[in-house]
Amino acid sequence: MRTQVAIIGAGPAGLLLGALLHKAGIDNVIIERQSSAHVSSRIRAGILEQGTVDMLVGVGAGQRLLAEGTPHRSIELVFKNQRHAIDVHGLTGGKVVTAYGQTEVTHDLMAARQAAGLATVYEASGVSIHDFDSPQPSVRYVQHGQIRQLTCDFIAGCDGFHGVCRSSVPKAAATEFERVYPFGWLGVLADVPPVSPHAIVYGNHERGFSLCSMRSLARSRYYVQCPIEDKVAQWSDQAFWDELRRRLDPELADRIVTGPSIEKSIAPLRSFVTEPMRFGRLFLAGDAAHIVPPTGAKGLNLAASDVKYLSAALIEFYLDKSSAGIDGYSQRALRRVWKAERFAWSLTTLMHRFPGSGGFDQKIQEAELDYVVSSRAASTALAENYVGLPL
Ligand code: FAS
Ligand code: PHB
């Protein structure tokens, strides 16, 4: 089989890249190791920047998002048992973020791809990539017991943090930067109305971080920071709700509507970047190239901005016969990646309780939060990073 661009991975990065390339008439095939049911059942991110929303609408996968997504004009910070609103909309000249689950984004992109009749190989095992330092790269995989080969002009590594593409790059050709955080996020999804339907609530407390978010007006997403060695089985639903309430201000704690968890998991937190993001005819995008702690709600949105740059570069190559875009992709993407890494790291450092930290550290965090909520300059800086820096 042959195509112009072979995309490894059918997560948000791969699906969105495929849609952007198809819209420009560039042939692409997605090769995914999991089943379509597995991919579309993943529960992950929940907050979309306007640039991500615009891209999804632009590729014809935004109808449900526009109908069911919930725009948020503010975020709220809870510390010292008090809650403070940050008017994100007012501080950024009218920008908002939209609450709409990554699960739904994946559904919508998969449906659009299927409707366009585009080739997606699910349940591909033993995926390997070859000759990406030559003009004839190829991908090999096994499907239904048959060894298959896909020849192509370019390979887009959209296969996430544990994928095959980054690990296929010679060690000497890449530099990795990493910070692993000494705690995790215990997340609960429940079919209960969100405690704060129009604002994401971030909590700083001496017991640890908490976050109140949503997927719809009938489905809520909550998180509490937990020790990295915790296991989900240790946490009953009641223990989760009790801990969440302890970390919020009294008024909000009283308003929490609890219910049985329909999903409960612990996610580790890390900051990670590999440089460069291009190796010959192989390009990395999304989690395959970088990871951010979810505190800044940047992971999914960075994947979207990577593929915006990568699709523009590939379109320029095919339509304008210019290599300027693909030659500049890595540097352009990394400039935005590192700014998002900085924001996610700084908000994680500000909001979480680090093992071994004491009263002084808590006071410093509270003083910084007090400054942020009382300074227009500081809250503007937070707001403009939260809605997403210009593309
Ligand atoms: P993905 O990991 O989503 O997709 C990669 C795809 O490649 C997967 O479908 C995988 O099956 C496939 N693949 C892997 N190896 C392969 C191989 N060898 N061959 C073929 N296919 C292969 N971000 C936020 O902004 N907010 C959050 O709250 C948040 N929570 C998260 C919770 C968890 C548990 C995780 C893991 C991530 C979370 N993220 C969050 C980040 C997440 O949303 C990612 O940023 C987003 O999924 C990135 O999309 P992709 O780059 O497409 O990678
Ligand atoms: C979510 O809704 O899952 C969410 C919201 C904000 C974050 C992280 C996750 O910073």
Answer yes or no: 72 catalytic: yes
Say if 327 falls within a structural domain: yes
Answer yes or no: 294 catalytic: yes
At residue 76, the pLDDT reads: 98
Residues, the chain: 391
Answer yes or no: 107 catalytic: no
Bridge partners of 85, per DSSP, are 76
Answer yes or no: 298 catalytic: yes
How many Å apart are CA 344 and CA 266, to the nearest integer?
18
Tally of structural domains, the chain: 1
Say if 263 falls within a structural domain: no
Shortest-distance ligand to the CA of residue 216 = 2
Shortest-distance ligand to the CA of residue 72 = 2
Say if 47 falls within a structural domain: yes
Mean predicted lDDT score pLDDT of the chain: 97
CA 311 to ligand 1 center in whole angstroms: 19
Of 36, 300, 305, the residue with max ligand 1 atoms within 8 A of its CB, to mutate for a pocket test, comes to 300
Structural domain of 20: 5-70+99-178+270-347
Answer yes or no: 202 catalytic: yes
Ligand 2 within 6 A of 295 CB?
Answer: yes
Shortest-distance ligand to the CA of residue 164 = 1
- For the segment 22-32, the average pLDDT, to the nearest whole number, is 98
At residue 129, the pLDDT reads: 98
Atom of ligand 1 nearest to the CA of 14: 52
How many Å apart are CA 149 and CA 141, to the nearest integer?
7
- For the segment 140-162, the average pLDDT, to the nearest whole number, is 97
Which of the four pLDDT bands, split at 50, 70 and 90, describes residue 2? very high
Which of 39, 37, 34 shows the shortest CA–CA distance to 122? 34
Say if 285 falls within a structural domain: yes
Q: Which of 22, 290, 298, 352 is flagged as catalytic?
A: 298
What count of other Cβ atoms lies within 10 Å of the Cβ of residue 195? Answer: 20
- HSE-CB of 330 using CA atoms within 13 angstroms: 18
How many Å apart are CA 182 and CA 233, to the nearest integer?
20
Coil vs helix vs strand at 391 = coil
The CATH number of the domain holding residue 134 is: 3.50.50.60
Check whether 198 has a pLDDT greater than 90: no
pTM: 0.96
Segment 282-337, tens digit of pLDDT? 999 999 999 999 999 999 999 999 999 999 999 999 999 999 999 999 999 999 99
Say if 10 falls within a structural domain: yes
Pocket of ligand 1 (CB under 6 A): 8-14, 31-34, 39, 44-46, 102, 124, 127, 158-160, 163-164, 267, 286-287, 294, 297-300, 303
How many Å apart are CA 130 and CA 132, to the nearest integer?
6
Check whether 71 has a pLDDT greater than 90: yes
At residue 41, the pLDDT reads: 92
Say if 86 falls within a structural domain: no
